[in-house]
Amino acid sequence: MATVRKFHLPHYPSYPIYISTFKNVENAAFLRSQLLEGNPNFDYAFLDASTILSLNHILLPAFLALSLHTSGRAKTKTVHSELVFRLHPNNNIAESFKKFGIGDSSRNIIAVKIGGFMKEGQDEVAEESVSRHLGEVVQGDSTDPGERGERLGEECEMEKVRKMYKLESGAGGGGKKGKKIGNTGEAVNGMGGEEKDRKEMESVVLGVITLKGS
């Protein structure tokens, strides 16, 4: 059995979001092949944990995927593929999977399953079956994402995320070119410097995801 945490978007209470995290994964290539083959038992978004900053970094694309999927405006087949697509700043689907999805050599992964596309009252069953299924198919150490998802960014590679969302300030009127967002390392208001950097990066990343492709 894998540790699964359940989250609810306030605006989509009937679509619970299950999140599991794994370290030292040995069979990423197998998991990815199941996604590629379209195995119906593998209806997940499998993310490379090095690209995810925080819980909100998953919840916003999940919100957008649900919003677009339920209104017939999604660009991809399933709500899970839409979630991965929404993470990427550009409109390239293949690129989104390459950058944010699980790769053959991924060691740390995040599995996201959006429930609720089933009959009512199946909620608890789903949570248990997600836990059992992931426990069986993922060869790796299940870790706890935390009750509030506070441990979701632990395997994040900040430099990688900074690059993917182009978080160096670009050309503007200003002379402060090349300044990096969320790279101050300063501690402010009792908040550790790293936590503050992560928060600041998240606030830009959510905006970039919102603006995706527009």
Partner 1 sequence: MASAAHPEPIEPIQPLQPPSGRPRGGHDQHTLPAPFLPDACEPLTQGAEALVYRTHFLTPQTPAVLKYRPPKPYRHPTLDKRLTKARLLAEARVLVKCRREGVSVPAVLGADWEGGWLVLEYVGGGTVRGVLDGWVHRLPELSREGNSETISEGRKKSEEEEALWELMRKVGRAVGRLHEIGVCHGDLTTSNLMVRDEEEYTENETNLPPSGDIVLIDFGLATQTIQDEDRAVDLYVLERAFAATHPAAEPLFQEVLRTYGGSFKGAKSVLRRLEDVRLRGRKKSMLG
Residues that bind partner 1 (CB under 8 A): 7, 9-12, 55-56, 59-60, 63-64, 67, 71, 73, 148, 167, 169-170, 172-176, 179, 181, 203-204, 206-208, 210-211, 214
Burial class (CB in 10 A: 0-12, 13-18, 19+), 121: exposed
At its nearest, how many Å lie between partner 1 and the CB of residue 94? 24
Taking the least distance from each CB to partner 1, the nearer of 31 and 110 is 110
Host H or E run for residue 80 = helix 79-87
With residue 45 as reference, give the H or E element that holds it: strand 45-48
- C-beta of 140 vs 149, nearer to partner 1: 149
Which of residues 56 and 76 has its CB atom nearest to partner 1 in the complex? 56
- Smaller CB separation from partner 1, 42 or 85: 85
Computed from CA positions of residues 125, 31, 142, 153, in that sequence, does the dihedral angle turn out positive or negative? Answer: negative
Q: How far apart are CA 206 and CA 189, in angstroms?
A: 23
* Shortest Å, Cβ 62 to partner 1: 9
CA distance 135 to 138: 6
With respect to partner 1, which residue has the nearer C-beta, 46 or 63? Answer: 63
Cα–Cα distance for residue pair 165/181, rounded to 1 Å: 11
Closest approach, Cβ 123 to partner 1, in A, equals 19
Nearer to partner 1, 1 or 191 (CB): 191
Tell the smallest beta-carbon distance from residue 140 to partner 1 (Å): 27
Compute the least distance from the CB of residue 169 to partner 1, in Å: 4
What are the beta bridge partners of residue 30? none
Question: Please, which residues have CB within 8 angstroms of residue 140's CB and are 6 or more apart in sequence?
Answer: 22, 23, 24, 25, 26, 27, 107, 109
Min. distance of Cβ 18 from partner 1 in angstroms?
16
Do the Cβ atoms of 84 and 78 come closer than 8 Å?
no
